[in-house]
Structure 1
Amino acid sequence: MKKKRWIKIIAGLFGVLLVIDIIASFYFYNLAIERNVKDFLQGNSDLEVSAEAMNVFLEGDWRSWVREQPFEQWEMTSNDGLTLQGYYLEAEVPTNKTVVFTHGYLGRGSDMGLYGQYYYEELGYNVFYADMRGHGKSEGDYIGFGWHDRLDLIDWLDVIIEKRGQDSELVMHGLSMGAATVLMASGEKLPDHVKAIVADSPYTSVYDLFAYQMKRMYHLPAFPILPSTSIVTKVRAGYSLTEASALDQVKKAEVPILYIHGNEDSFVPTNMAQTLYENTKSEKEIITIDGAGHGEGFVLNKEKYVNALSGFLEKYIS
């Protein structure tokens, strides 16, 4: 009798834990992946930025520059039927060089104007950016964290080549989630027109990022919540947290990659960029910027950033 009683107790506890795990899985899916307002990021100390960086992000002249430019609005249908929005700016002096930007989590394409202004004014590039699925004016009820976005990005590359010509030379430049996107794309068959990739503050995989953030923000272990959340994500968004891996993709990369990361980044730890760099198959370079938090490198040490960037591009862009 005692044995049966213990079996019932254990089974009951297991059932309760299973229910809690399922509830937590849907909670974290809604929290991080479903397209909605993300209040959980407000007050996150890992996203605190320096006063200098905040001033540039919010009040920098790049914002007025973006508003004043005659961007063409382009539209594309993704392979799963979403209408996506892109924006193209032709260089002042005709060129076959185009930079293709991918933005960060909860952002929109125009956020990359901070970098676009430099490419446009100093390097003479055409500029293209898009609102990634689930962001800005693009359709989508979930955030892909770069995985499905990598295929959208490749489709955008084809659109640019079709519109701008077969002599196009393309650079993919991503920030944070956008950096993971260009790295995830690097493992696919890319057009020969793609000559270089720049990844600023990337993560190794969605699973790794979530595991890191769950520990920092909620003091929770990855198991068993993340595997269950991954199943929910697979069912509702069509991808799992483990398959969405920049690390797996760079092991197949053929295009040269420049990694940039702040040494004080506590939102996406710097060692993730180092791990990506060490596992990249193609030619690669890495710089870290002292004192810079997440995505702050361009603002806090622009000289080091642009020197590395321009030197890298000169090697691979004719």
Structure 2
Amino acid sequence: MQIAFSLFVFVSAILCLVFVAGAFYVYLVAFRADHREIDESILTPADANVKIGKDRIHFLISDILDTPHEVVTIRSFDGLELCAKYYHHADGAPLDILFHGYRSASCRDCCGVFRISKDQGHNVLLVDQRAHGRSGGRIITFGIRERHDCLSWINYAVERFGKEQKIMLIGLSMGAATVLMASGMEMPRNVVGIISDSTYTSPRDIVLKVSRDRKYPENLVAPLAKAGAKIFGKFDLDETTAVDAVKNCKKPVLFLHGEDDFFVPCRMTRKVYAACASEKHLVAFHNNGHCANYVFNTERYVNEINKFSKEMFSR
């Protein structure tokens, strides 16, 4: 009997160690970020469809990098130094705050909307999300902690530019999920609208979707991702979702997504759109991949954003 019990304890301990090791691996792959210099692998999108427009993307990125700016920093709610670049056009102009996607760079993901904001004569705050670029941190939480950073940047803008400063939040991919998750929290009246390009429904959904794409068993990845986030990342993967957050949203939202997005499927935006309780508008772009709407459907993309932006800032 004692031998059987000892064997049970031994096997249980081995299984626990294997599970924890698996959770650590998922944590490293999905949530852990190691800062690196901006290079070709970041600036050139992996999406084969977008590679066709690589030259144009590089031109837009160069425009951002060559535009005079001020590097600004704030302290996050949990003590990280967060960094952004501020591009000043005119005193009193509307302010667009831009948020990039997962393991990417602000100058790449936001190059299209930056050009739109610049052409509109808006001031721009181009944010490096936590664990990206010059911002501190080593853990990517898919919008769960980033939503608090979004509110911190809004508060920074209001404190710096005044209580009458009008603000538009614009996010792409994880940046879109970030601003939508933030929309479920109390926001200053300065925020007049939100533009979401290619959001996912929840951190869990996108982690599992990518794991399915890579042929990993979902029933195994789900508990490992949950445990890895909790044990090593110190956050709850299911703390909030874009779907739940927008049920409490009070700001007008423009939803944008490419119908041929195979990384973050358009159906995810449709689900978030359906749950959104505020004024909303959805625009789907046929034949466009992930965050490729500006490059391949420029006129329509620009017109939709300009129309929404002009209406919101004029209220």
The TM-score, its normalising length taken from structure 2, stands at: 0.89
The answer for the alignment partner of 1:28 in structure 2 is 26
Structure 1 residue 206: Cα displacement: 0.6
Give per-residue Cα distances to partners, 1:74-131, cap 9 Å, x unaligned.
111111111111111111x43330000000111233332332122112x111011111
1:297 aligns with 2:293: yes
Determine helix, strand or coil for the equivalent of 2:214. helix
- Choose the corresponding residue for 1:106, options 96, 103, 107: 103
Determine helix, strand or coil for the equivalent of 1:198. strand
Bigger shift: residues 229-238 or 177-186? 229-238
Structure 1 residue 232: Cα displacement: 2.5
What is the rounded CA distance, in whole Å, between the counterparts of 1:89 and 1:51 in structure 2? 28
The answer for the alignment partner of 2:306 in structure 1 is 310
What is the rounded CA distance, in whole Å, between the counterparts of 2:195 and 2:61 in structure 1? 22
1:133 aligns with 2:130: yes
1:77 aligns with 2:66: no
Residue 48 of structure 1 aligns with an amino acid whose one-letter code is A
The answer for the alignment partner of 1:279 in structure 2 is 275
Contact 2:200 2:242 in 1 (8 A): yes
Determine helix, strand or coil for the equivalent of 1:251. helix
What is the rounded CA distance, in whole Å, between the counterparts of 1:63 and 1:46 in structure 2? 16
Contact 1:179 1:201 in 2 (8 A): yes
Contact 2:65 2:107 in 1 (8 A): no
The answer for the alignment partner of 1:177 in structure 2 is 174
State the identity as a percent.
29
Matched residues, number: 306
Structure 1 residue 199: Cα displacement: 0.6
Structure 1 residue 244: Cα displacement: 3.9
Contact 2:70 2:86 in 1 (8 A): yes
What is the rounded CA distance, in whole Å, between the counterparts of 2:13 and 2:224 in structure 1? 15
Equivalent positions of 1:6-21 (< 5 A) are 18-21=16-19
Give per-residue Cα distances to partners, 1:256-277, cap 9 Å, x unaligned.
1111111111111110000000
Give per-residue Cα distances to partners, 1:193-234, cap 9 Å, x unaligned.
00010110100001001111111113312x243223213312
The TM-score, its normalising length taken from structure 1, stands at: 0.88
Structure 1 residue 297: Cα displacement: 0.8
The answer for the alignment partner of 1:255 in structure 2 is 251
Structure 1 residue 17: Cα displacement: 5.2
What is the rounded CA distance, in whole Å, between the counterparts of 1:216 and 1:264 in structure 2? 15
The answer for the alignment partner of 1:88 in structure 2 is 86
Contact 2:97 2:124 in 1 (8 A): yes
Bigger shift: residues 307-316 or 17-26? 17-26
Determine helix, strand or coil for the equivalent of 1:287. strand
The answer for the alignment partner of 2:94 in structure 1 is 97
Distance 1:303 1:10, change over 3 A: farther
